[in-house]
């Protein structure tokens, strides 16, 4: 192999069917690991790139810009200090001879003459250095090392042990049958998992026959597709499935969640989409049940009409292409029928008992051994939701208190239904269906499903006020109860999803918006745990936790750290107006007076923090300097406008009015000694600054805007 050659490198590991849920990660890790290993050994040109391939039966990578050998490198290595290398007469010592012998062996030369060594300072003392040319790694050697490292680090969910035909035991994710290592048209002599490299592979298990020879690395993907009936690229195959589903759906809408699309993509090498049908009688079952049944059990893609109503037609992705697919279609229709029949049976059986009749049985379902059963929890949720509804009624967000308590009572009852037992993902959804069947109030039925919202980042909030009251109760009860028994999040560990619950609480308060105070909500929730000694009050710690989540929420909205701290450092208990405050702070920060006022406010904050004196009222009769009088007059002039704007929620106007104080504030600090020797003067000046500080920080702590 030429020392100066550059070409593409193909590596393929052909295996038994790989675990579908891990295939995407395995494919990326295999390709990126090889690429990094080759780059580390200087076997890649500057413009080199890697293309990953992953199918159910192979992991592969095509790397362009690969060198047949790494370039030689000039090396300079310290040998020994002269005081150790030479004796008093300048003759070489035994340590020098030993060191040179070891160095010669490591760089692959017979010996090193000590008289050829370079004498130079190492920064502390004179020493011997050896200059030599280090041979670059060969592709075979570098690739072997990169392969070994990559296979050792693959994210394998569960390692399998199997025996090769020669009796040796191999550990890998699945049995491997062949290895391709092709540099251009040349086979690279490497070995892994008991396999020697070749240029031979196999195509589709059923649509291709015999061994496929790959004459050149760059022809791999095209030959596999044309001769082997395999779409080797994971991304290309996924897109082929997606576009085929859309084409086959026609005017209908395809329900194709990413997780399902990825899993099906990991099960086929030559995807073909076929349309199937089921009996229309099954459409009497809630469509969520049918969709989940098809997705979870059979990996099918459900279809809806333009209005979102489920069709009795569904799509399958087959690994077989045929001109007579009827047997495939009828076989899948036959398989799905009993699954849908099970769903219908569960639905019919569940409706024979009301949700309310199931509630007492929640006493037999453990929520947490330190907190009690699900029935204990439901009773807490009722009390909390009732209190929240009462509180919300006083803020202009009317809630039927009885409906909120009824919604909380029925919220967890569907956990005992057959349908939710079979499909836990449907908890809440089935509660709403069954509550409607029981003729419960519309808002009560809706709360059964909506109280779980938001389930994840970006999820919709509960729509109705009853649902919101129950959702707040549910998340607050979890947060206070689980935190109270010492299971608060630590590091990456958050087994009870308290961070998600906290963000859900905050989103409801901010985005609905609800003028309900955080400390009030926590106090109401803590009261519901009275009599449970395992739950320790932790209101301040939970508030700190919640405000940290507020910081993250606002930063995700694009606000700077200083803008966020200006508002959040005040720890506003009511969060309904926090976005208005944030916009006001941003507008204020852009004013020419903002920087000086923020710096002055920071100075005032520090002065007031350091004083131990009691702050009284301002007495204008004690003013001695014109700057004192001017500042007091300016404060009193803007105060009515600032307070009126604040009361009306016009925070931008409130902060804009404060900008009028800049000149008076600057003059005050230029002309007035705040900490005067006269105690009465000092106390009066501190009172003047305190009144300014209170007025200036109604909306936000503008000192946080100071650089």
CB 48 within 8 A of CB 65: yes
State residue 373 phi and psi, 5-degree precision. -90, 175
Asked if the peptide bond before residue 660 counts as cis, ω within 30 degrees of 0, the response is no
Whole-angstrom Cα distance, residue 586 to residue 542? 28
**Percentage of residues in the chain with pLDDT exceeding 90?**
88
**Under CATH, what is the fold of the domain 578-705?**
Isoleucyl-tRNA Synthetase; Domain 1 (1.10.730)
Q: Give the model's pLDDT for residue 393.
A: 86
N residues, the chain: 707
Q: Give the model's pLDDT for residue 60.
A: 98
Judged by DSSP in three states, 704 sits in helix
Q: For the chain, what are the domain ranges? A: 6-70+138-226, 75-134, 250-350, 366-558, 578-705
Dump pLDDT digits (tens) for 572-613: 999 999 999 999 999 999 999 999 899 999 999 899 888 888
CB 401 within 8 A of CB 390: yes
Whole-angstrom Cα distance, residue 143 to residue 601? 64
Confidence category of residue 707, pLDDT binned at 50, 70, 90: low
Mean pLDDT of 375-396: 92
CATH class for the domain made up of 6-70+138-226: alpha beta
Dump pLDDT digits (tens) for 286-316: 999 999 999 999 999 999 999 999 999 999 9
Mean pLDDT of 484-491: 94
Whole-angstrom Cα distance, residue 509 to residue 526? 19
Whole-angstrom Cα distance, residue 9 to residue 611? 73
> Any idea what DSSP says for residue 490?
B
Whole-angstrom Cα distance, residue 131 to residue 127? 13
Nearest to 409 by CA among 364, 346, 473, 348: 473
Which contiguous run of DSSP H or E holds residue 375? helix 374-393
Which contiguous run of DSSP H or E holds residue 131? strand 126-134
The token pair at 682 is 């000092």
Whole-angstrom Cα distance, residue 179 to residue 160? 18
Dump pLDDT digits (tens) for 450-471: 999 999 988 999 999 999 999 9
Nearest to 476 by CA among 556, 397, 555, 535: 535
For helices 401-410 and 465-484, give the axis angle rounded to 10 degrees. Answer: 60
Residue partners of 268: CB distance under 8 A and separation at least 6: 56, 237, 241, 317, 318, 319
Residue 1 predicted with pLDDT over 70: no
Cα separation of the two ends of the chain: 62
Judged by DSSP in three states, 412 sits in coil
CB 196 within 8 A of CB 178: no
Residue partners of 324: CB distance under 8 A and separation at least 6: none
Please enumerate, as own/partner, the contacts of 667-676 that have beta carbons within 8 Å and a separation of 24 or more: 667/627, 667/630, 667/631, 668/627, 668/628, 668/630, 668/631, 669/600, 669/603, 670/627, 671/625, 671/626, 671/627, 672/625, 672/627, 672/628, 674/607, 675/607
Whole-angstrom Cα distance, residue 621 to residue 482? 57
Nearest to 384 by CA among 479, 315, 300: 479
Confidence category of residue 354, pLDDT binned at 50, 70, 90: very high
Judged by DSSP in three states, 275 sits in strand
Q: Give the model's pLDDT for residue 398.
A: 85
Residue partners of 363: CB distance under 8 A and separation at least 6: 373, 374, 375, 376
State the chain's mean pLDDT as an integer. 94
Q: Give the model's pLDDT for residue 624.
A: 93
Dump pLDDT digits (tens) for 537-556: 999 999 999 999 999 999 99
User: How many other β-carbons are positioned within 10 Å of the β-carbon of residue 120?
Assistant: 12
Whole-angstrom Cα distance, residue 16 to residue 207? 17
User: How many other β-carbons are positioned within 10 Å of the β-carbon of residue 325?
Assistant: 18
Mean pLDDT of 176-180: 97
Q: Give the model's pLDDT for residue 2.
A: 44
Mean pLDDT of 265-275: 98
Specify the residue for token string 């009144």: 691
CB 198 within 8 A of CB 185: no
Residue partners of 555: CB distance under 8 A and separation at least 6: 561, 564
Strands 253-254 and 58-67: unpaired
Lowest model confidence (mean pLDDT) among 355-364, 396-405, 441-450, 466-475: 396-405
Whole-angstrom Cα distance, residue 94 to residue 143? 39
Question: Which segments within 240-293 are labelled E, that is strand?
Answer: 253-254, 272-277
Judged by DSSP in three states, 183 sits in strand
CB 52 within 8 A of CB 234: yes
Whole-angstrom Cα distance, residue 240 to residue 244? 6
Dump pLDDT digits (tens) for 181-205: 999 999 999 999 999 999 999 999 9
Dump pLDDT digits (tens) for 501-538: 999 999 999 999 999 999 999 999 999 999 999 999 99
Dump pLDDT digits (tens) for 660-674: 999 999 999 999 999
Which contiguous run of DSSP H or E holds residue 44? strand 44-55
């Amino acid at each position: 192999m030429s020392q100066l050659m550059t070409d593409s490198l193909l590596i393929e590991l052909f295996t038994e069917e790989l675990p579908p849920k891990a295939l995407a990660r395995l494919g990326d890790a295999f390709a990126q690991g090889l690429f990094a290993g080759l780059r580390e050994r200087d076997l890649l040109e500057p413009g080199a790139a890697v293309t990953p391939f992953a199918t159910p039966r192979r992991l592969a990578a095509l790397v362009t810009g690969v060198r047949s050998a790494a370039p030689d490198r000039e090396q300079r290595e310290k040998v020994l200090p002269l005081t150790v290398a030479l004796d008093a007469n300048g003759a070489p010592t035994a340590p020098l001879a030993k060191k040179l012998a070891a160095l010669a062996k490591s760089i692959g030369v017979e010996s090193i003459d000590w008289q050829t060594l370079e004498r130079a300072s190492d920064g502390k003392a004179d020493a011997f250095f050896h200059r030599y040319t280090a041979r670059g790694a060969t592709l075979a050697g570098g690739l072997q090392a990169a392969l070994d490292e990559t296979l050792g680090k693959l994210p394998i969910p569960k390692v399998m042990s199997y025996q090769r035909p020669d009796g040796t035991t191999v550990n890998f994710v699945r049995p491997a049958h062949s290895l391709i290592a092709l540099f251009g048209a040349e086979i690279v002599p490497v070995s892994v998992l008991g396999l020697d490299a070749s240029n031979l592979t196999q195509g589709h298990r059923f649509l291709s026959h015999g061994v496929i020879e790959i004459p050149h690395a760059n022809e791999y993907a095209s030959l596999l597709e044309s001769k082997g009936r395999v779409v080797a690229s994971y991304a290309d195959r996924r897109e082929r499935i997606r576009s085929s589903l859309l084409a086959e759906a026609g005017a209908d809408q395809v329900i194709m969640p990413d997780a399902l699309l990825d899993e099906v993509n990991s099960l086929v090498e030559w995807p073909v989409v076929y349309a199937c049908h089921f009996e229309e009688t099954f459409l009497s079952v809630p469509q969520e049940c049918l969709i989940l049944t098809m997705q979870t059990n059979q990996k099918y893609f459900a279809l809806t009409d333009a209005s979102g109503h489920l069709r009795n037609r569904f799509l399958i992705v087959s690994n077989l292409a045929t001109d007579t697919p009827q047997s495939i279609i009828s076989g899948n229709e036959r398989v799905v029928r009993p699954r849908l029949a099970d769903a219908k049976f569960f639905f019919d059986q569940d409706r024979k008992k009301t949700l309310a009749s199931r509630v007492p049985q929640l006493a037999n379902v453990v929520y947490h051994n330190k907190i009690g059963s699900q029935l204990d929890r439901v009773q807490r949720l009722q009390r909390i939701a009732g209190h929240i509804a009462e509180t919300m009624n006083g803020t202009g967000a009317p809630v039927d208190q009885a409906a909120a308590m009824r919604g909380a009572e029925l919220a967890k009852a569907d956990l005992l239904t057959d349908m939710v037992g079979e499909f836990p993902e449907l908890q809440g959804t089935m509660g709403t269906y069954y509550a409607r069947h029981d003729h419960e109030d519309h808002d009560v039925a809706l709360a059964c499903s909506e109280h779980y919202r938001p389930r994840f980042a970006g999820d919709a909030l509960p729509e109705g006020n009853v649902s919101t009251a129950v959702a707040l109760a549910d998340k607050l009860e979890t947060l206070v109860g689980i935190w109270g028994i010492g299971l608060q999040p630590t590091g990456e560990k958050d087994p009870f999803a308290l961070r998600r619950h906290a963000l859900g609480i905050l989103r409801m308060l901010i985005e609905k918006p609800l003028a309900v105070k955080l400390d009030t909500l926590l106090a109401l929730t803590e009261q519901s745990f009275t009599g449970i000694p395992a739950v320790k009050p932790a209101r301040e710690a939970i508030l700190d936790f919640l405000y940290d989540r507020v910081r993250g929420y606002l930063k995700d909205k694009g606000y700077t750290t200083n803008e966020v701290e200006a508002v959040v450092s005040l720890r506003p208990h009511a969060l309904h107006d926090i976005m208005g405050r944030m916009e006001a702070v941003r507008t204020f920060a852009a004013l020419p007076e903002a920087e000086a006022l923020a710096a002055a406010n920071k100075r005032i904050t520090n002065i007031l923090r350091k004083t131990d004196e009691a702050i009284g009222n301002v007495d204008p009769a004690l003013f001695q300097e014109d700057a004192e009088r001017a500042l007091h007059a300016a404060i009193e002039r803007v105060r009515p406008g600032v307070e009126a704007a604040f009361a009306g929620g016009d925070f931008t106007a409130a902060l804009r009015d404060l900008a009028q104080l800049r000149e008076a504030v600057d003059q005050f600090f230029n002309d007035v000694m705040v900490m005067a020797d006269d105690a009465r003067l000092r106390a009066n000046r501190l009172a003047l600054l305190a009144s300014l500080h209170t007025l200036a920080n109604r909306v936000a702590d503008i000192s946080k805007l100071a650089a």
